[in-house]
Amino acid sequence: MELKKTIQDVQSVLENRDVQAEEDYEKYYKDITDDNLLSGVDRITAMKKGDPLSLEVAENPYVMYDIPEYRTFHSMGKYYVDKYSDIIEKYAQKYNVNADLVKSIMYNEASTGHKIIFNWLGDIAHVSDSQMPMNIQGETWGDFQGEHYDTWDAEQNIELAVRVIKQITESLKNPSIENIGTLWNGTGKNVTSSYGARTKTIYEQKPWEK
């Protein structure tokens, strides 16, 4: 019980830091571009059409770049990256996207964004809101720039994710690893999130190679 409470307390701190950073951005950040005023839904709509965006993600003074060991299942992250590495490389090359960035996001989703076995069971039953291996929301992103992707199919799931990552990258004025990860996890974000920070740490450490 104490461990569970500690995990909940730490997670609450991380989430509160992200919320505080977004609130500070709205109050104090002066260089807000017109596109940064768009909602997450409007940004998704533009990306799905291939419309150009000019977004800037501000630095988050509260963010932590450490990977939270208390909720990280390294074996799950490594399993997914190892299993789908060849497919990632295939589509990363096709769309000129950094393969290690895609692997970092996949690892992040599987190892820290997991719901343990329930992700897998939900996908089998076709009841998941988002589908592995990239944990992408098919209902939101499935129709992308004139093509339809079945996100229950692993290869189509990864190809779509690579294309979304490319579109996010091209939509950012400052496309750092952490900022791409931030918008992957929450398209309406204006400040680097804890998820984005973890993506950068994972990218640098490449834990799937260990």
Determine if residue 55 is left, alpha or beta; phi over 0 gives left, psi from -120 to 50 gives alpha, anything else beta. beta
Distances (CA, A) of 182 to 27, 60, 102, 108, 185: 20, 11, 13, 12, 5
Q: What is the pLDDT of residue 121?
A: 65
Kindly list the domain boundaries of the chain, sorted by start residue.
2-209
Pick the range with the lowest mean pLDDT from 17-31, 40-54, 70-84: 17-31
Please return the burial class of 165, using the count of CB atoms within 10 Å of its CB with bins 0-12, 13-18 and 19+: buried
| Tokens linked to 157 | 């799931």
pLDDT band at 50 (very low <50, low <70, confident <90, very high): very high
Stated length of the chain: 210
Q: What percent of the chain has pLDDT over 90?
A: 65
pLDDT band at 114 (very low <50, low <70, confident <90, very high): low
The answer to whether residues 186 and 44 touch, using CB atoms and an 8 Å cutoff, is no
User: Maximum distance among all alpha carbons in the chain?
Assistant: 51
Q: What is the pLDDT of residue 62?
A: 85
- H-type helices in 125-176, by residue range? 138-141, 154-171
The answer to whether residues 190 and 38 touch, using CB atoms and an 8 Å cutoff, is no
Nearest to 111 by CA among 21, 1, 7, 198: 198
The residues with which 32 forms a beta bridge, in sequence order, are none
| Tokens linked to 171 | 């939509």
CATH of 2-209 among 1.10.3470, 3.40.50, 3.40.1580, 1.10.530: 1.10.530
DSSP letters of 48-98?
HHT----B-PBP-TT---S--GGG--HHHHHHHHHHHHHHHHHHHHHHT--
- Kindly report, residue by residue over 122-165, the tens digit of the pLDDT: 666 666 789 999 999 999 999 999 999 999 999 999 999 999 99
Single-letter amino acid code for the residue at 210 = K
